Structures are given as C-alpha cells and as structure tokens.
Amino acid sequence: KAQSAQAQITVDITMADDKWTDCVNNLKGVILDMCGVLYDSGEGGGFPIEGSVEAVKRLKASDLQVRFCTNETQATREKFVAKLRRMGFEIDITEVFSPAPAVVAVLKERGLRPHLLVHDDVVQEFDSVDKNNPNCVVIGDAADYFSYQNMNAAFRVLIGLKKPVLFSMGRGRYYKETDGLKLDVGVYMKALEYACDLEAEVVGKPAPMFFEGVLTDMGIQPHEVIMIGDDLMNDVGGAQQCGMKGLQVRTGKYRPSDERHPTVTADGYVDNLAGAVDAILKHRGQ
C-alpha cells in the first residue's frame, strides 16, 4: 500500500510538469516569439539566449513547420531578420510575421492615410502608403521617439478627426533589454485611447487576425500548433484564444508571478527554448 501511494505521487508530479507534452504527438507546427525567446535585445542589437540558435536548428530539421511571430516594430523586417542571422539564427524573411506589413495591408484595404508615431527605423515599411492629409494614426514601439512633442502631434491628428482611428502595432506593456525593462507600445496606445476617448485597433499579437494569418500560411489547424513565448498575455494568452497551445519560457520578460496570473495560465512553463524543443522532440522520438 505504501508503495502504491509512492507511485501515485510520482505520476502526479510527472503530469504536472509535462502535461503540455500530451499535445505533442498531434503537433504539426511551432510558432516562436523572437525577443526574449531567441535573443535578449539591448545595446548593439542584443545577443542570443543560450541554446536558442541550436534549438531553432533542431526544430527546422524536424518534421514540424516553424514560423516566427514578433511584435517588433523598431526596424524593418529585412533589417530585423539580418540582425538575427548575424546572431547565428537560420531564419528566412518569409518565415517571419510582424505587424508593420499587416497594418500596411489594412491601411490600403480601407483607403486610410496614416500619421506615423513609430521608430525612425521602421518608417521605410510604410513607403508605399499615402501619408498626406492623414485620417488615422499608426503607433508602434517608437521608444525614444515617444517624446511629449511626438505624442502631442499624434493626439492632435486624432482629436481633429470626426471619427478617429488608431492602429497599434501590439499592445505589450514592457519588454526587457540588457539594461532593464522598457515601456512597450501598449502603454502609449492606452495613453492616446484615454486622451481621445477611443479604442485602438491592435495589429500584431495578441490580435486573433494576426495569429490566423500565420496559421493560414502554414495550412494547418490551431490545435496542431504550439506557440512558445516569454509574454504571458500576448504570446500565450493570444495563442490560446485562437485554439493553439501556449508555452511560456522563463527567459526574457518572464516574471515568477506570471505562473500565478489570475486569468491566463500557460499550458506549460519551460526554462528556455532549448528545454522546450528538447522536450517536444524527445516526446516525438526525434
């Protein structure tokens, strides 16, 4: 009897730790967040998180489809991918989904002319869009460009419109750079929402439309996909709302309190991407 109780306890612990791997047998694709999962950003562009370069290589060599999904809006997608390749990651631009091309598509579809409150290095993504006499505002992670003057300029465009439209490339609260936490675009989105008494349209994670674009590209169903990210709300919560599984890595902006969040619980928590990939491939016998 004592022995059976012992066995029971062992099983429970194993299940609590590895419950998320239950879905791994049906898995056909993996979506990876980038900053905080692949690398830590910071001075000089940042550096890879230990084991991540190898983990991406192993994933891409497996039978799983791999896509990268970022709310990064401080550089064009071209420059961003080039940076990651310099860090050693085998990533192709066609595998990367970011908000700027998505919002450009929406602007063109709706005939909207944006006033941009974005980082100088991402402006180029909007080259093909008419920006004269703006009838909406697009906000991205402008970082140091979030000056009082630039915020006022965006505000005045919005408050002057009969029906103000604000697009936000993401709704993140903060991210981690090598020298500390930094405020993300969501914070300034909330500021303009309050100033103008409106609700922004979010393009990027966790907007379902954004994730659905990635699923369509892979041609597979949500329950066949796992999302791995360091952001509980935008990566994990967003993926789960689309019917995917969501894993949180304990790197990047992860904080221990995330594991006690009142409304969002990840399907699993793993120390880092290398650990997640190791568990996935081991479970699939690869």
CB-nearer residue toward a second copy: 64 or 233: 233
Centroid of chain to Cα 266: 15
How near is the Cβ of 171 to a second copy at its closest, in Å?
A: 9
CA-CA distance, 207 to 139, in Å (whole number)? Answer: 15
The answer to whether the CB of 213 falls within 8 A of the CB of 101 is no
Kindly state the helix (H) or strand (E) to which residue 284 belongs, with its residue range: none
CB-nearer residue toward a second copy: 146 or 211: 146
CA-CA distance, 185 to 172, in Å (whole number)? Answer: 6
How near is the Cβ of 85 to a second copy at its closest, in Å?
A: 29
How near is the Cβ of 180 to a second copy at its closest, in Å?
A: 6
CB-nearer residue toward a second copy: 161 or 195: 195
- What is each CA distance from 178 to 53, 69, 100, 168, in whole angstroms? 19, 21, 25, 25
How near is the Cβ of 146 to a second copy at its closest, in Å?
A: 4
CB-nearer residue toward a second copy: 66 or 183: 183
How near is the Cβ of 66 to a second copy at its closest, in Å?
A: 32
Q: Are strands 174-177 and 180-183 parallel, antiparallel or unpaired?
A: antiparallel
How near is the Cβ of 257 to a second copy at its closest, in Å?
A: 10
Centroid of chain to Cα 67: 11
CB-nearer residue toward a second copy: 59 or 232: 232
CB-nearer residue toward a second copy: 60 or 261: 261
CA-CA distance, 233 to 240, in Å (whole number)? Answer: 10
CA-CA distance, 286 to 278, in Å (whole number)? Answer: 9
CB-nearer residue toward a second copy: 89 or 175: 175
How near is the Cβ of 235 to a second copy at its closest, in Å?
A: 17
Positions in the binding site for a second copy (CB under 8 A):
142-149, 151-152, 155-156, 159, 173-174, 180-183, 186-188, 190-195, 197
The answer to whether the CB of 82 falls within 8 A of the CB of 45 is no
DSSP output for 133-189: S-SEEEE---GGG--HHHHHHHHHHHHTSSS--EEEE----EEEETTEEEE-HHHHH
